[in-house]
Amino acid sequence: MTEPLLSVRDLCVDYVTPQGPVRAVDRVSFDLQPGEILGLAGESGSGKSTLAQALLRILPPPAVIRGGEVRFEGRDLLSLEETELRRVRWSRISMVFQSAMDALNPVLKVGAQIVDTLQAHTDLGTDRARERAAELLEQVGIPRARLDAYAHQLSGGQRQRVGIALALALEPELVILDEPTTALDVIVEREILQEIRQLQRARRFAVLFITHDLTRMLQFSDRVAILYAGRLAEIGPASVLGSAPRHPYTQGLLRAFPSLHDAPGVVRTSIPGAPPSLASPPAGCRFAPRCAQAMPRCSTTGPALVDIGPGHRVDCRLLD
């Protein structure tokens, strides 16, 4: 087996609030192979975006990374100096943000924002950089005339495409997609995901695909990880999790999400209850209060990580 591109071990992220620290990411571990597409799903507030931004260490205050290791291409990103980190950012790992409207600077032209990225990492002159920026835009289906447009002059789909062009500008090894299509309508969403997949097949970069839409994620990813209240509930190949998930939460999610292949008359059921407050999480397993299969010791000794197949791991006592 090849050396993983990204190796996260026991990552812990807190938000320091006046009421005390809130653990948003609790000892999360996973690997990502070169060229692999790993989907990361979870409800709102499950810690998906926190996890993604923690990898690049761009979480705004009051976030603090409390422990763990993020090994990328052999180096622990958590122990890098600021200047080293800047070199890794974007040229090796890049990100497409959720709402590109907010992510693009409203007072600068779109082209200028691609150019400054190029010039920050390479020694391309202004003209060559502009040319390259135009090529990047065309690759994502935006006419090069739009280089001189402002963000608010583009449609939602176009802005997201600009975000993708930006992310691919330096040909990174890993692209993090943080809910890239949540703000878009279904048709545009489909187009964009197809484009990303095409680009990924051509360039072979790894993808960390974050979303709350489980169905989309299962279609799109090679492997899938399920996050619940800051902990990794289950991780494994998409085909396996889509057909035979082992964690009660994953099972509940699958029952709640529609699928075009469902037989008519299949009833959708949602998971009762609500995610726990991260400020005062329940003792033991965080899913136990909502779990239909919970045992008494789930609430006392908490869950356990169990390997149940190649690349398939579950955080649950049921399989112990």
Amino acid at 258: P
Q: Does 120 bind another protein (CB under 8 A)?
A: yes
Which residues from 55-94 bind another protein, rule CB under 8 A?
Answer: 56-67, 78-79, 82, 85-91, 94
Nearest CB to another protein, comparing residues 170 and 188 = 170
CA distance 90 to 106: 21
Query: With CB under 8 A, what is the number of residues at the site for another protein?
Result: 48
> What track of x and - describes contact with another protein for positions 27 through 56 (by CB under 8 A)?
--------------------------xx-x
Nearest CB to another protein, comparing residues 164 and 294 = 164
CB atoms within 10 A of CB 283: 11
Q: Does 270 bind another protein (CB under 8 A)?
A: no
Q: Does 206 bind another protein (CB under 8 A)?
A: no
DSSP string, 193-207: HHHHHHHHHHH--EE
Task: Indicate if the alpha-carbon torsion angle 127, 85, 159, 164 is positive or negative.
Answer: positive
Alpha-carbon distance values, 294 to 276, 285, 289, 299 (Å): 16, 9, 8, 8
Q: Looking at 116, 131, 191, 195, which residue binds another protein (CB under 8 A)? A: 116
CA distance 317 to 320: 5
Task: Please state the closest distance from residue 278 (CB atom) to another protein, in A.
Answer: 15
- Residues 177 and 209: beta-carbon distance below 8 Å: yes
Task: Please state the closest distance from residue 318 (CB atom) to another protein, in A.
Answer: 29
Q: DSSP state, 60?
A: P
Chain residues binding another protein by CB under 8 A are: 12, 16-18, 21, 53-54, 56-67, 78-79, 82, 85-91, 94-95, 97, 99, 102-108, 116-117, 120-121, 150, 152-153, 166
